[in-house]
Structure 1
């Protein structure tokens, strides 16, 4: 019994399918009870014996290729340490009760490695799906070529299913790595003077459309801060890498540029040299508490929202230009400013917060304004939670969401 109290040998033998464990020299180490039933052999016939001594090719069939194909698949698994799904095989089996008589059989095998701690293949899992009855039942009076074609169609469907499963597993691993990278590159912000701020990042659910969004808050000389959000086209690890480059570049540019427009101009020039950065959207704002002004510029991004104390909302949409890299030539970007009152709230966000498929963008903006108005007295942290709860669908969205809220 294992430490967890599970008899894994008994579990293996009770598997509801034809499964065998093979040693690297292709001898049977163990077989499931269903493998015994399906193959018509006893455990004594199999365990310890060489695979192709038990199941050789039919000597009366000069075209038989089962041992050659299966052997090649098993050697691929041994060499690569990766699973291998085989095409449907006609693999005739000698009758136990009538030696010399061969039964027409169709098997669909999958072979997978069992690795030790050093990554060496120590066992092979050989799973066989017996489809003989299905092939014969569908064959009827068809000639042998029609039967083979039908069998091949079945095989291709199984191969596609196996490929899709591998892709899902690969996507899941990439998603985990990309999210971990995103978490490192988007930490909680440090203090922004004596001002209150909240940030949130929510990844897309059930999708690889993650890790293209970013936010940033930068302390500037005087009682000023720079606040930005952006959205890289693409998803997964590539988008996360591009996001990190652009976020760092804009953070540096905003510290030395003469305003948000110039910072985005610098970022746009840099983006031309970064593969995957084209058509990124971003908005940069500069909040100045000494003059009570917000200066901003947008590269194709959704407009920030300014929530006033009376619950009204203004969208900062007077300085919008195309996304990064959308123009072949360099053109100065627009910039605009407006005043704010103490107690107002600035909200920057990415499209996952408001955009919904088949819905006009103005509907999403109106929904945001209405939610902001109802929570106008909330501090940034609870306001951020309320917006996500009310505006994101219960099951999540197919795009990730970044959100920054600053109390002015």
Structure 2
């Protein structure tokens, strides 16, 4: 039985929104094409996409047809304010008509003669991605079919935007991480170094980092850190903490004091951020390391003629989250000739469903004295092997030159 004209019209409208060919378009082209189709399908004058910024809690116009000035002028709408803000806050469709007293933050909507507006939230699962709204210059009653169709278009755009943002975040985080990790480990008389960094499987690049830098008085700063979280946000915070730690390290010869200042900075400027950090200073004679831990797991030390062991260092509180900035402690670690120190992040030793102590025992058993590069290879083979780590892994090996080495 042939479809009646009304059903045929509805099917054509659905096909215009769900057209598989749209999936091959780049996001900018997809937004423009979809908004043009929405204008045609609804017979309206304007259609706009506003992206939601979770940190700023506001919407920003990123694509529009009919009122392109929304994009050109960088229109921003706070969450809960005005028409689009109400759509975002309620996550429900909203219809407003000029003269009904509904507040509108963006004056362009009324200035262009719009009379009726319909907005729907753009959702990717439970995540608010933005708002899609349309406007008509003549009085219009938007019925349930109109709302359902616009919701379908919004869902398609939300998914495309979420995929694009995730891809951009991964690329940006990866580039930022590479730029902040040492491109080449320094050459320091009396010491040798090797390092590894491996992103976790199925996760965006996170906030793990290691660092080595010279300090006044022929000293050397050694850092291993881990910012909680993944993605671009964690990588950006990692970059800020790394830079701040380097700056504080120039002012103080006490790792505990440096971590205290860093925690104070994080508490004030990085709300909700938490990081664990091991920071040590190798003294000019290369025979001692002054070390402080901010919630970070202890390094492993291998000394010629003795089994490797976890360094006995008190674990003070992590950096950030409003935790105390005082009461941190320094511990002196002896570095005999030929000794090897291994610092790492918890992704190396933690496994879902396994006890952390088991991972630490495997790590200690894999660490022996010798060349740092060989030590890193042995540790990665023993703890990672052929199974990808679930979390990011950073590893740094520091070896003191044996006494009989020229």
Inter-partner Cα distance in structure 2 for 1:236 and 1:276: 17
Q: CA deviation at 1:280?
A: 1.1
1:228 corresponds to which residue? 223
Q: CA RMSD in A?
A: 3.6
Matches within 5 A, 1:279-318: 279-288=274-283, 290=285, 292-310=287-305, 312-318=307-313
1:187-206 Cα offsets, whole Å, 9 max, x none, are: 22332334211122222232
SS in 2 for 1:405: strand
Confirm whether residue 246 of structure 1 aligns to residue 241 of structure 2: yes
Which residue of 339, 360, 379 corresponds with 2:355?
Answer: 360
1:349 corresponds to which residue? 344
Return closer, same or farther for 1:277/1:179 CA change in 2, 3 Å cut-off: farther
In the superposition, the TM-score normalised over structure 2's length comes to 0.59
Q: Is the 8 A contact 1:368 1:391 kept in 2?
A: yes
Which residue of 382, 385, 390 corresponds with 2:382?
Answer: 390
Confirm whether residue 171 of structure 1 aligns to residue 163 of structure 2: no
2:188 corresponds to which residue? 192
1:328-384 Cα offsets, whole Å, 9 max, x none, are: 5542301212323211101111111111122221111111111214xx43x112322
Structure 1: runs of 5 or more not aligned = 1-16, 21-50, 53-64, 82-147
1:285-320 Cα offsets, whole Å, 9 max, x none, are: 122362722221101011111122236122124221
Inter-partner Cα distance in structure 1 for 2:390 and 2:152: 28
Q: Is the 8 A contact 2:274 2:319 kept in 1?
A: yes
What is the total number of aligned residue pairs between the two structures? 280
Q: CA deviation at 1:393?
A: 5.7
Q: CA deviation at 1:76?
A: 5.2
Q: Which segment is superposed worse, 308-317 or 298-307?
A: 308-317
Q: Which protein has the larger Cα radius of gyration, Structure 1 or Structure 2?
A: 1
In the superposition, the TM-score normalised over structure 1's length comes to 0.59
Question: Which structure has more strand as a fraction of its residues?
Answer: 2
Return closer, same or farther for 1:19/1:207 CA change in 2, 3 Å cut-off: closer
Inter-partner Cα distance in structure 1 for 2:189 and 2:220: 9
1:259 corresponds to which residue? 254
Inter-partner Cα distance in structure 2 for 1:347 and 1:77: 58
Structure 2: runs of 5 or more not aligned = 1-18, 23-35, 49-62, 73-144, 401-406
